[in-house]
Amino acid sequence: MGIVCAVNPNITAYVPLALALIWVVIGVVAGYVVDRVVLRRLAESHAAHQNFWLGVSLDAVRGIAILWGTAAGLYAAAETVNLNSRLDFLIGRILLIIVLGSATVVAARFTAGAVTRYGRGVEKRVLSASLFSSVAQTIVVTFGVLIILNSLGIAITPLLTALGVGGLAVALALKDTLANLFSGIQIIASRQLRPGDYVKLDSGFEGIVEDVNWRNTTIRELPNNLIVIPNDKLAQSIFTNYHLPEAELTVSVPVSVAYGNDLDEVERVALEAADAALADINANVRDRPYVRFRELSDSQVTLTVHMRAPQFQDQFKARSYLIKRIYDGFNRAGLGPVPQRVPRKSELGRL
């Protein structure tokens, strides 16, 4: 007696749908593997070798591989299932938008990352301001949107014409925003203020410039507080930049010694103390410390010890170490402190 197996025609109708689902799952898994495994291995390699273009590329495509894998799976699924022409056209347009949109995001990230990384150098740090990366991203995204619209068959010439006509109304509505934007560009283009500089405003605020974006400038005070100043206000203010024309500055400590001390010995001990203070703060400065005698008063000789500090923030630590070193050096050399001033006879009647 033979066994006859009949395949239910209703089951075979679901085979293309099952294959389509499998293609989508394969696409998602492949994208996840690329994003979580392959890109992570490349990131470890970049951490070891610090390749400029590899670092920028990894930052640009992070998180996009899963989207691309999903789009590829959807495309394969659409080819597996027999769809009517209208649905097939709609899916094709959606996939086109996904691919072009994600490519635009990658290009915008890549451009902004390249600008930011290139500007991290000491001489090129003006480019590290987020204003430049924001402008670069805006330009790339604008071109990407225009390409997407053109690929969808939408005429962009009338759109550009309408934007040109409405540009005046937009400019009036965004007057303050545009003022801050162009003020930020002017601040950076003048190269009188850069991220990392220590500045003091005429309003009394002072600190390290953290960033200059399209709307405001962020300054971090030494107590670690943030000051946010609109670019338009900053462009009109008077400020002192302690990093221009160079970051090094002079730290001065006044010293007094009693009469009877050998001034050559005083100068030698003071210079040794200043050299030791430079070693304490591990400062590599251009000029060596020096001593200048200032005044012969009634009971003491006044001098000033000058030493260079790498930048404004280091002056407080440098002055502290210099005072300690001078005090210890004078004690070891037997250069006693100035005695208390004795009043003159002519002053006794007024006491």
Q: Which CATH number does the domain housing residue 264 bear?
A: 3.30.70.100
- Residues 254 and 294 grouped into a single domain: yes
Rounded CA-CA distance 140/124 in Å is: 22
Residue 337 within a domain: no
159-173, 294-308, 321-335: the lowest-pLDDT one: 159-173
Per-residue pLDDT of 178-232, as tens digits, reads 888 888 888 887 778 888 889 999 888 889 998 888 888 999 998 889 999 998 8
Q: How far apart are CA 114 and CA 228, in angstroms?
A: 26
pLDDT per residue over 58-95, tens digit each?
778 888 888 888 888 888 887 787 777 787 788 888 88
Residue 5 lies in a domain: no
Average pLDDT, the chain: 79
97 and 217 inside one domain: no
- Residue 302 CB neighbours (<10 A): 15
Q: Which of 161, 191, 225 is the last residue of a domain?
A: 161
- How would you write 15-77 as a 3-class SS string? HHHHHHHHHHHHHHHHHHHHHHHHHHHHHHHHHHHCCHHHHHHHHHHCCHHHHHHHHHHHHHH
Mean pLDDT of 137-153: 83
Does the residue 6 lie in any domain?
no
* The most confident of 74-78, 130-134, 165-169, 313-317, by mean pLDDT: 313-317
Q: What is the domain range of residue 119?
A: 12-161
Give pLDDT, residue 305.
Answer: 92
pLDDT at 311: 85
Query: Residue 211 is inside which H or E element, if any?
Result: strand 206-212
Q: 277 lies in a domain?
A: yes
Would the pLDDT of 348 be above 50?
A: no
Stated as kind and residue range, the H or E segment containing 91 is: helix 85-118
235 is a domain residue: yes
Does 54 reside within a domain?
yes
Q: Say yes or no: 253 and 309 in one domain.
A: yes
Clarify whether residues 313 and 230 are in a common domain. no
Cα separation of 70 and 28, whole Å? 5
CATH number at residue 218: 2.30.30.60
- The domain boundary residue, chosen from 104, 132, 161: 161
In a domain, 346, yes or no: no
Name the pLDDT band for 47 (thresholds 50, 70, 90): low
Which residue would you say has higher pLDDT here, 89 or 296? 296
Residues 31 and 89 in one domain: yes
Residue 110 lies in a domain: yes
Q: What is the pLDDT of residue 166?
A: 61
- Number of compact structural domains in the chain: 3
Same domain flag for 144 and 59: yes
Question: What distance in Å separates the CA atoms of residue 80 and residue 294, rounded to the nearest whole number?
Answer: 92
Same domain, 154 and 67: yes
- Domain end call among 161, 190, 224: 161
- Residue 4: the pLDDT is 47
Q: Are residues 18 and 124 in the same domain?
A: yes
Please check whether residues 125 and 47 belong to one and the same domain. Answer: yes
Please determine, for residue 346, whether its predicted confidence score (pLDDT) is greater than 80. no
Same domain, 185 and 276: no
Query: Does one domain contain both 322 and 301?
Result: yes
- 143 and 279 in a single domain? The answer is no
The mean pLDDT of 156-161, rounded to a whole number, is 70
